[in-house]
Chains A and B, each alone.
Chain A
């Protein structure tokens, strides 16, 4: 019989090991699922976890998928550390995509000829403003009326989805698009510049890495960042020290909304090149898992973004190569987060074998 004993202090080793153990558990459970579905677990796992790294083009796709995850998860990590439960990054992502898409549409209709590098800051600014504005609604209602930010931010995801759907079915629909719900293809000048010829990965990826370093500096090297994080685990201490919880609500939500908005802008003016009802593959929700698997640490977020984008691409490959539904990626994500939470118990508790009495 195993019993858990409380550790005198949290184990730093286990803090680092627990994501690794959780990943091993997820792979084991995934193998079991493949076996149950009558597929060779070894081959299926290889398609899922190894093939996404096969060659430079595959790595470029991995980086492309990881970009929105890094950006969204950075903001969420800041929120969660400050005990603000923003789980509406998906909606903020969509709004960023809509505002950046709107600007790209304007530029396209005006027949712009500026260079893509000149348009890049415009698109990013538009996205950041859109995402931040959407998150500001949550901050306002939480700050002014104490409305629960979990529920409000989540309801706004559905609203953002419907708003996007109205735009592409209605006023922004391409008149020559054979009645498909989509905008016109944006002008080439509005496309996020690509890093390498023939690959889709673009300037967004290095940008997301810069954002991670900036977030690390902010969290651990500034007084303001420290202030925010005290409010999470010790609200009373924070109040005693004179740190304002109102400021924490606004700062974390605006920063995370802005980052999610930038992610949306990069997606819409990058690989998409137009607005459709399917701008997001659920990046805002996946980023919640990324943030936790990355230990709410900016550099951890980069690693776990790469891991989770492996799952996303692995899911697509599993569909085309071994005939497994790509929805499996979602199952993998959920199993990973649940195992991680279970493994985190090892950080505070020590398993001890005990002879039964």
Chain B
């Protein structure tokens, strides 16, 4: 056993919350709303998801609770930025700060509790294949759902009328409004859907990935997911790719340590954050390229008739 299959398996698992949150944020940003509240959304939904999974014994109810919590908090954000035209950066930061405060507060009775997770079943037959079996086919169903979600989103965005309308809202809300589309409602719906996905990602962390609740356990993944949307130049498939890249970096640090690399643990733990910075630098180097790909109305308020 060379451990490579384990590394691949762990990478998929570590990349999944980033992928789901990144796809959610992509839904937000595609309609022109940037959601800096992602970290707070994920924290609140991690707490809610963990609490519900703990009390009901069902991880799927946990995911549902996480999605609801994420949707509820992003509804607040959406109402503020879409109807009251508050600054999207300031409002997102407020949601993040509120979310980390609320989750710390609500999570106090959950600290130290452990979730009894059921045994993992792999995909029948495929899981027994040598090497690829353990690496690819013995994952939590959410791992496959994340991949399916990216595919579904790519189809909707680039092959359907709905996708065209949603992209129009993000590129030119004025034109979409002139054509008779309810721009603000579409934006709010997208923000809530994106928030729900961030919520599922948060719940994945506390229900499947760790599985326990620790204050601040999202540990910057919300912000990394935001960076992912830039890295992916707002395309679903590339979000997936980026997420696994970061998942790989996260796992690599553990494997390097186990492999006897003489570097203090803290420096290893810096790797995901430092690589986010490096990736941002590499991607942003060409501002024209970013500007061509970025939804044109990103971060800008839209007032119908103004």
Which residues of A are at the interface with B, using a C-beta cutoff of 8 A? 6, 80, 85, 87, 141, 145-148, 150-152, 154-156, 158-159, 162-163, 165-166, 169-170, 285, 288-289, 292, 325, 327-335, 337-338, 341-342, 344-345, 348-349
Q: List residues of chain B with CB within 8 A of the CB of A285.
A: 97
**A-B contact sample (19 more), CB < 8 A, given A292-B94, A338-B76, A338-B80:** A6-B306, A87-B93, A141-B277, A141-B280, A145-B284, A145-B285, A150-B89, A151-B226, A158-B219, A163-B266, A166-B267, A288-B97, A325-B108, A327-B104, A330-B100, A330-B105, A338-B95, A341-B87, A345-B84
Per the bound structure, the CA–CA distance linking A166 and B80 in Å amounts to: 41
Contact of B223 among A85, A151, A338, A349 (CB under 8 A): A151
Q: List residues of chain B with CB within 8 A of the CB of A344.
A: 84, 86
Q: Is the CB of B276 within 8 A of A151?
A: yes
Q: List residues of chain A with CB within 8 A of the CB of B95.
A: 334, 338
Given contacts A151-B223, A158-B273, contact A345 B86 (CB under 8 A): yes
Quote the shortest CB–CB distance from B66 to chain A (angstroms): 19
Which residue of B is nearest A162, CB measured? B266
Quote the shortest CB–CB distance from B48 to chain A (angstroms): 15
Per the bound structure, the CA–CA distance linking A327 and B107 in Å amounts to: 10
Q: Is the CB of B267 within 8 A of A345?
A: no
Per the bound structure, the CA–CA distance linking A141 and B276 in Å amounts to: 13
Which residue of B is nearest A332, CB measured? B101
Per the bound structure, the CA–CA distance linking A327 and B111 in Å amounts to: 14
The proximity string for B residues 44-60 relative to A, scoring 1 for CB distances below 8 Å and 0 otherwise, is: 00000000000000000
Q: List residues of chain A with CB within 8 A of the CB of B87.
A: 341
Please indicate which of the listed interface residues A152, A329, A332 has the most CB atoms of chain B within 10 Å of its own CB.
A152
Which residue of B is nearest A341, CB measured? B86
Quote the shortest CB–CB distance from A95 to chain B (angstroms): 14
Contact of B98 among A146, A150, A338, A345 (CB under 8 A): A338
Contact of A328 among B99, B100, B105, B227 (CB under 8 A): B105
Quote the shortest CB–CB distance from B19 to chain A (angstroms): 18
Q: Is the CB of B264 within 8 A of A166?
A: yes
Q: List residues of chain A with CB within 8 A of the CB of B290.
A: 146
* B: contact size bracket: 35 or more
Q: Is the CB of A288 within 8 A of B105?
A: no
Quote the shortest CB–CB distance from B47 to chain A (angstroms): 11
| Chain A-chain B contacts (Cβ-Cβ < 8 Å), number | 134
Per the bound structure, the CA–CA distance linking A348 and B86 in Å amounts to: 10
Per the bound structure, the CA–CA distance linking A87 and B224 in Å amounts to: 15
Quote the shortest CB–CB distance from B280 to chain A (angstroms): 5
B239 interface residue (CB < 8 Å to A) = no
Which residue of A is nearest B101, CB measured? A330
Quote the shortest CB–CB distance from B293 to chain A (angstroms): 13
B145 interface residue (CB < 8 Å to A) = no
Q: List residues of chain A with CB within 8 A of the CB of B277.
A: 141, 147, 151-152, 155-156
Please indicate which of the listed interface residues B36, B90, B220 has the most CB atoms of chain A within 10 Å of its own CB.
B90
Quote the shortest CB–CB distance from B84 to chain A (angstroms): 4
Interface residues of B in 246-277 (CB under 8 A from A): 264, 266-267, 269-270, 273-274, 276-277
Q: Which 3 A-B pairs have the closest CB atoms?
A: A334-B98, A330-B101, A166-B266
Per the bound structure, the CA–CA distance linking A269 and B48 in Å amounts to: 40
Please indicate which of the listed interface residues A151, A327, A344, A345 has the most CB atoms of chain B within 10 Å of its own CB.
A151
Please indicate which of the listed interface residues B95, B281, B285, B290 has the most CB atoms of chain A within 10 Å of its own CB.
B281
Q: List residues of chain A with CB within 8 A of the CB of B99.
A: 334
Q: Is the CB of A341 within 8 A of B80?
A: yes
B117 interface residue (CB < 8 Å to A) = no
Contact of A327 among B93, B105, B273, B280 (CB under 8 A): B105
B169 interface residue (CB < 8 Å to A) = no
Given contacts A145-B281, A289-B97, contact A151 B84 (CB under 8 A): no
Quote the shortest CB–CB distance from B250 to chain A (angstroms): 13
